[in-house]
A and B are shown apart, each in its own frame.
Chain A
Amino acid sequence: MTWLSRSVLFLAIALLFVAAFLGLNRLGALSSFEMTGRPGGPPGQTQPAPGGAPATTAGASAPSTTGSAGQTTPGTAPAGGVVPGPGGDRRGGFQWGEIGKDLGLVALAWLVLAGLDWLVNRRTVQASVRR
């Protein structure tokens, strides 16, 4: 049962962070993160799709153009169509470029830290040889 009590402890700590974030939001500290007007309009707003019927929840489920999470920049409704509502559209599919960027970032961090480690070890060895 030790693992259970430890899990509960980690969950309790997470809930403390949650309370802190909700408190910050209540104080208005997170209001600067409100989506502001950009091409395509803020996500979640009802806006007409170009040349067609009004779109629903535009941007909220449209594919993004930047950001590895796919959510930094809101997308636009498809021409003449309605953006699918909640339920999980899979338009665009996997963004392999974004996956490549994410994995590249991991590889870069790996190489940078390994390089730093190598440099530090080299200097340590050189210093000991001088002595």
Chain B
Amino acid sequence: MTTTGTTAPRKKRTNATVINMVLDTSTFIAFILAMQPHGTGVPIHEWGSIALSVAIIAHLVLHWDWISGITRKLLGRLPAETRFSYVLNLLFYIDMTLIILSGLLISKSVLPALGLQVDEHAGPWRRLHGLSADAGIIILALHVAVHRKWIASSFKRYVWNRVTGRTNSDR
């Protein structure tokens, strides 16, 4: 009973870390590629961005405990780094919403495929799409930098150590 009680949560945590790593790496690559509509072509840019938004929702759901925990404590005492991270993530969420909304409103591929025609490719949404995407890459850079320790330790543990044949107990 004791053995089961100690190993099961550890396995669960390990799996969650791997899932987070795979999802976050894919999301990061997808975001960088989404910034290149002329490289991917507009249909891949638009449909890929829809998939990216699903991945972001999955990312948020996986971090539910952190988000709900900090939201409850937001008005109380919190380390400055945690508060900064929370505000940054909130800005990222708002910015991603604006990117996707403005992208849909100037869509040439997704909405027509759903039978909706958009004639406005020039209005404020066009420029907002570009500006919010440029802001998004800056926020993404800060988001990655804030979580650099987790990224480095996870990469070392699950990628580097496996490639080099080291076990995690080796130091």
A residues apposed to B, CB below 8 Å: 3, 6-7, 10-11, 13-14, 17-18, 21-22, 25, 30-35, 42-45, 57, 60-61, 63-64, 67-72, 86-95, 98-99, 102-103, 105-106, 108-110, 112-114
Contact = CB atoms under 8 A, between A and B. Distances in A.
B130 to A, nearest CB: 3
B112 interface: yes
B127 interface: yes
A3 B148 CA distance: 26
Contacts of A91: 38
A24 B14 CA distance: 44
Contact of B32 (A60, A99, A110, A114): A99
Interface string B133-153: 110011011101110100000
A44 B37 CA distance: 16
B38 A63 contact: yes
A67 B58 CA distance: 28
A94 to B, nearest CB: 3
A35 B129 CA distance: 12
Contact of A114 (B124, B128, B148): B148
Interface residues of B, number: 49
Given A35-B122, A93-B39, A21 B130 contact: no
A68 B42 contact: no
Given A68-B137, A69-B133, A90-B39, A6 B64 contact: yes
A106 B145 contact: yes
Nearest to A34: B124
A98 B38 CA distance: 12
A99 B138 CA distance: 13
A70 B38 contact: yes
Interface stretch (B1-9, B92-100, B163-171): B92-100
A88 B35 contact: no
Interface in B34-71: 35-45, 57-58, 60-61, 64
Given A69-B134, A87-B108, A106 B144 contact: yes
Contacts of A72: 127, 130-131, 134
Given A44-B126, A45-B122, A88 B43 contact: yes
Given A71-B133, A110-B148, A34 B109 contact: no
Contact of B122 (A43, A70, A114): A43
A72 B127 CA distance: 7
A94 B36 contact: yes
B142 A44 contact: no
